[in-house]
Amino acid sequence: MTFTIQYSNQPDTEELQVLEDGLNQFTASHIGDDDRKEITFFIRNDQNEIVGGIKGSHGSYGWLWVDTLWVNETLRKQGFGGQLLLALEQQAIKNGCQNAYLNTFSFSGVEFYKKHGYSVYAQLKDFPKGHSVYSLQKKLVEN
């Protein structure tokens, strides 16, 4: 049997799914199935337009992944981001999570997350040039 390594700058969804499924099966064979579930909250205005929201996910490992937090610029610095984060964390705790983790850029949210109890465990400098990306974590439930 012959194997070749091929470059693809636009792989299709099915090809990418093969990779993800393969890695998930390998991981599950060592630590069990993660069974990921999404958690999402939105802020809507009187016209039912989305003006903010937060998206995260969790699985059976007890960790919440805070994926996306966005609040319209006109609503920032009014506590909406903190309310969204708290709602996400509380739902994750109800779903069995004990911890949370996330990544954020130096220009977008690292101080916000520190203010809400997250601590930095990694930093990539010059990502992109002149900025950093931070990885943060928080214990949601004391054992």
What would the pLDDT profile of 90-121 be if each residue is shown by its tens digit? 999 999 999 999 999 999 899 999 999 999 99
Q: Is residue 102 part of a domain?
A: yes
Using CA atoms, how far residue 86 sits from 33, 39, 47, 69, 92, in Å, is: 27, 12, 25, 12, 10
What is the Cα Rg of the chain in Å?
A: 18
Q: Sign (positive/negative) of CA torsion 23, 39, 53, 93?
A: negative
- Give the mean pLDDT of 64-81: 97
Q: Is residue 6 part of a domain?
A: no
- Give the mean pLDDT of 52-69: 94
Query: pTM, whole model, 2 decimals?
Result: 0.86
Q: Is residue 16 part of a domain?
A: no
Using CA atoms, how far residue 55 sits from 85, 87, 98, 102, in Å, is: 9, 11, 17, 11
Q: Is residue 105 part of a domain?
A: yes
Q: Is residue 106 part of a domain?
A: yes
What would the pLDDT profile of 28-46 be if each residue is shown by its tens digit? 899 887 788 999 999 999 9
Q: Is residue 1 part of a domain?
A: no
Q: Which domain holds residue 41?
A: 35-139
